[in-house]
Amino acid sequence: MQSAFILQQLFISQPIPVSYIMPIRLVLFVLLVLSATSQLACQPTTFRQCPNPHKDPTKRLYNDIVTELIERRFYNMYLPKEQQEIFSKRYQVANSQAAMIADTAWRRTQSIRFQNKLFQDTANFRTFQLVTVPPKNARTPAGLPASFSELRASPDIAAMLTAFSSQQQQAVLDSINEVQAGMSAQEFTLCTARLQAATSEPNWRYWTGQDVQRITLSKVFFNEQRTQAILSFGWLCGPRCGFGEVLLVEQVAGRWRIKQAIQTWIS
């Protein structure tokens, strides 16, 4: 644009010969294209990867998976309010299923851009609470029954556990029904959010909209090679906000990633 301004100034004090008009227009067009291309080239194309300092395999898994949950599965609620509103306004316009599918590329581009902008910007971090001591009579993280035989109402979960370990389905279920307490909130290394130990259970009956996001993780059940694992989690963001899932995760290039997620409850 500065080059275009210079060209304009060169000819502002004298008439432009007709034979010069087309070449000048071509030059201006090329400058505009180069400017737009340069701006696109500066846009990030991938999520920035947060360092994971843990040597313990279980803690390393938890750190990677919690990062992925916060940044990619919790409805962008880790972002500052103004960035969340950009998504909300877009969703209000694209309110049909076809429009939402067509909007996937836009959502991914925006998600990556906002994640990169927030990376290590601790002043704008939102706080999540990690539950390691569940309240009495609380449901399991994913709200699953205690016995594998009772999973008939959840055939997808039963199939996942059977495919993972055909001889130890009950052991896997026992593991993902138990809340993990081996990794504290302070041990997590996050680059786009803050994690702290959960306080007492909120009284949702008198909830007035304050920012409360609570994550409960289950214990992890690894395969023999320790290349895949199953765990579950529950996430609450209000009296009628949150969900629980069972996750099949695997190692990809040295980091743990979610391979499959099956939702078990939603609020």
Structural domain harbouring 77: 57-266
The answer to whether position 98 is within a domain reads: yes
Shared domain for 64 and 30, answered yes or no, is no
CB 190 within 8 A of CB 67: yes
Predicted TM-score (pTM) of the model is 0.82
Q: Express as a percent the part of the chain with pLDDT over 90.
A: 66
Helix axes 155-164, 169-176, angle to 10 degrees: 110
CB 177 within 8 A of CB 146: yes
Residue 229, exposed/middle/buried by CB under 10 A (0-12, 13-18, 19+)? buried
Shared domain for 22 and 104, answered yes or no, is no
User: Mind listing the pLDDT tens digit for each residue in 39-87?
Assistant: 445 689 999 999 999 999 999 999 999 999 999 999 999 999 999 999 8
Shared domain for 183 and 83, answered yes or no, is yes
Q: Residue with structure tokens 């990809």? A: 252
CB 64 within 8 A of CB 247: no
The bridge status of strand 214-217 relative to strand 228-238 is: antiparallel
Shared domain for 231 and 106, answered yes or no, is yes
The answer to whether position 47 is within a domain reads: no
Region 249-262: what's the mean pLDDT?
A: 97
Give the total number of structural domains in the chain.
2
The answer to whether position 109 is within a domain reads: yes
Shared domain for 163 and 131, answered yes or no, is yes
Shared domain for 141 and 244, answered yes or no, is yes
Residue 241 forms beta bridges with which residues?
238
Helix axes 2-10, 18-41, angle to 10 degrees: 170
Shared domain for 182 and 146, answered yes or no, is yes
